[in-house]
Amino acid sequence: MQLLDAAKSFLDGKIKADDTLVDFTAGNGHDTAYLCSLVPKGKVYAFDIQKEALENTRNLLSEKGYENAELILDSHANIAKYVSHFKCGMFNLGYRPGGDKSVTTLTESTLKAVTDGIELMEKGGVLVISVYPGHAEGEKEGRELYSLLSSYDKAYYSVIQYKMINSPTSPFIFAVEKYDK
């Protein structure tokens, strides 16, 4: 199974047509477009710090005919300024395919965005985080996210790590579900 398919599978059955979703790393817009397709009566907030990323995302959404996204040129660490609550969200960490490889997600802002995201996520929601440990900052993000996420109370959250154990530097996923209780 490809990582992207696995990431999407964690959202299966969790989302209703009028839900609010968040793409924390819009990049070229593929995940934003996917999320838009899941909530035809709802809304997707998509963050990126690169103008070019949001331009690519805007173009892809218009090609596909989606009008239910709000694109935000700001760090996902500032999510609380823009979003009061949401059902499910996705992070695809690292740098934008085809873009400037020096603009990558960074551990400190990623940890802040994940912490605030979990706080703002509705009960029954899932946050899916794809991590790329093949470069130094990605390895650090993965390690620190593991440490942060393992501290969440199992009475209220399930936190899953999904990874290829025969390929340690391959991308892997964390999926955080906030129980509906």
Ligand X SMILES: C[S@@+](CC[C@H](N)C(=O)[O-])C[C@H]1O[C@@H](n2cnc3c(N)ncnc32)[C@H](O)[C@@H]1O
Nearer to ligand X, 111 or 152 (CB): 111
- Pattern 66-105, ligand X, x by CB under 6 A: ---------xxx--------------x-xxx------x-x
174 binds ligand X (CB under 6 A): no
Per CB under 6 A, the list member of 10, 45, 47, 174 interacting with ligand X is 47
Number of residue whose CB is nearest ligand X = 27
Q: Is 145 helix (H, G, I), strand (E, B) or coil?
A: helix
Q: Which of 6, 49, 111, 148 binds ligand X (CB under 6 A)?
A: 49
| Residues with Cβ within 8 Å of residue 136, at least 6 apart in sequence | none
Nearer to ligand X, 52 or 157 (CB): 52
Residue 147 Cβ, how far from ligand X at the closest point, in Å?
Answer: 20
Pairing mode, strands 69-73 and 43-48: parallel
Q: At residue 73, what are phi and psi to the nearest 5 degrees?
A: -85, 80
Number of H helices, E strands in the chain: 6, 7
Closest CA to 31 of 114, 88, 110: 88
Give the torsion through C-alpha atoms of 174, 101, 50, 32, to 10 deg: -40
Of 39 and 77, nearer to ligand X (C-beta) is 77
| CB nearer to ligand X: pick between 48 and 177 | 48
Can residue 6 be called a binding residue for ligand X (CB under 6 A)? no
Contact 140, 107 (CB under 8 A): yes
CA-closest candidate to residue 89, choices 139, 140, 125: 125
Q: Is 25 in the site for ligand X (CB under 6 A)?
A: yes
Which of 9, 43, 50, 163: binder of ligand X (CB under 6 A)? 50
Spatial CA neighbour of 162 closest among 177, 140, 152: 177
| Residue of 9, 68, 107, 109 that binds ligand X (CB under 6 A) | 109
Q: Which residues sit at the interface with ligand X, rule CB under 6 A?
A: 25, 27-31, 47-50, 53, 75-77, 92, 94-96, 103, 105, 109
